[in-house]
Amino acid sequence: MKIIHFADLHLGVEVYGKPDPTTGLDTRLLDFLAAFDKLVDYAICQKVDLVLFCGDAFKSRDPSQTQQREFARRIRKLADVGIPVFLLIGNHDLPAASGRATSTEIYDTLRIPKVTVASQPKIYTIETSSGPVQIAALPWPRKSSFEGKAQAEGQNLSSDELKSKIEAGMSAKIKQMADSINPRLPSILAAHIWVDGAATASERKFILGLEPTVMLSNIALPAFDYVALGHLHKRQELSGTPPVVYSGSLERLDFGEERDDKGFYVIEIDIRDGRKIVEHRFNKLEGRRFLTLEKAFDEGELNPTASVLALIADRHEDITNTIVHLKLKMPESIAPLLRDAEIKNVLKDAYYFAISREVERQTRSRLGAENSESLSPLQALEKYLDMKNVVGSRRKELLARAEELLAETASK
């Protein structure tokens, strides 16, 4: 049995994009769709038995009709060739109000053949061309459900108490599903959650401590042959037995994922002599590249523009069709010497580029370049008298009077 595991498609991310002149669609939307197309083509070519999606189909909880249409086209393409598709609900798929439909609920409502939408935590048995597979689904928890239950029980929970209640509820549900698994059939836990200790990309806007988490020991249970995770965009394998895997996002979203490989996992489960043999491997996709270029200038730099042009020339092959961020750090005196037009011209082959400057403002001390905080009061006065060109008897008189005042102050 061969299964594809992917997550966090986030159709609708349009940062660094622009309108495509041919289709009118945002070019970043086309990037994400191109990655999805590669997955679909692989699934069909390799005749996989199941495509398992672990949540967050869209960036927004209210995706545009165009985004929904493009997602549906690819789901339908898989279903039309007989490949079952399992869609787990993620936090971005949930509506703001509890009574509204999720962004993928329409597939369940229309009962589209071969497409299963998992909006409730329970075990689903999916029939594939290689036999049945059990999927214990844990979608993103609805905070409102836990709040409502607590209120019905007369409990008025604080934020921390509610978070703890959600975490305990998720762990208990996983344990309950594990106990109900048929050990003779292939079994997968599919969850859209944050596992405690897992890493996330630097530009993600999560605030650690506010989201409910689950301990690794509570999901890496022997009842499951593989644990397929979504929610965190950084690909990572947290455990080997059973494999506990975040597939990561299918395409890079921002510079926090600049160095991350993107793609999907292929899982193979074989039953030999009554034993289940599980193998998994990462299938890398070549998506849109991100590149950060950095240059720091010293005070004595004579031609900063030439230095920047040389930096870009050295990486020109990497820049082509890449989203580039050029970071420049310089003293205040260097800033006027940079010729922006020339720099922008050599970046024209980039898919998108941004230039940021960090200018170090030079602080001027009335006592000269030396740090005034390191001088004694008498030394500071001498510096001041030097600047004012006070000499002769007047200088001696002021210094003598200063010494007297310092001595009087010290004796008090």
β-pairing verdict for 131-138 and 187-192:
parallel
* Across 322-341, average pLDDT: 93
* Across 135-146, average pLDDT: 86
pLDDT for 127 equals 97
CB of 71 closer than 8 Å to CB of 102: no
Confidence of residue 293 (pLDDT cuts 50, 70, 90): very high
pLDDT for 207 equals 47
Coil/strand/helix, residue 87? strand
pLDDT for 205 equals 44
Please check the confidence at residue 326 and state whether its pLDDT lies above 50: yes
Confidence of residue 97 (pLDDT cuts 50, 70, 90): low
Give the whole-angstrom CA distance, residue 299 versus residue 337.
Answer: 12
Selection from 54-58, 94-98, 398-402 with the highest mean pLDDT = 54-58
Q: Boundaries of CATH 3.60.21.10 in the chain?
A: 2-285
CB of 128 closer than 8 Å to CB of 50: yes
Please check the confidence at residue 370 and state whether its pLDDT lies above 80: no
Residues 6+ apart with CB under 8 A from 161: none
pLDDT for 389 equals 74
Among residues 251, 279, 286, which one has the least CA distance to residue 265?
A: 279
Fold of the CATH domain 2-285: Purple Acid Phosphatase; chain A, domain 2 (3.60.21)
pLDDT for 319 equals 94
> Which range among 228-242, 250-264, 378-392 shows the weakest confidence by mean pLDDT?
378-392
Confidence of residue 45 (pLDDT cuts 50, 70, 90): very high
pLDDT above 90 coverage of the chain, percent = 66
Coil/strand/helix, residue 19? strand
pLDDT for 312 equals 95
pLDDT for 390 equals 76
* Across 131-135, average pLDDT: 97
272-285 pLDDT per residue, tens = 887 899 999 999 99
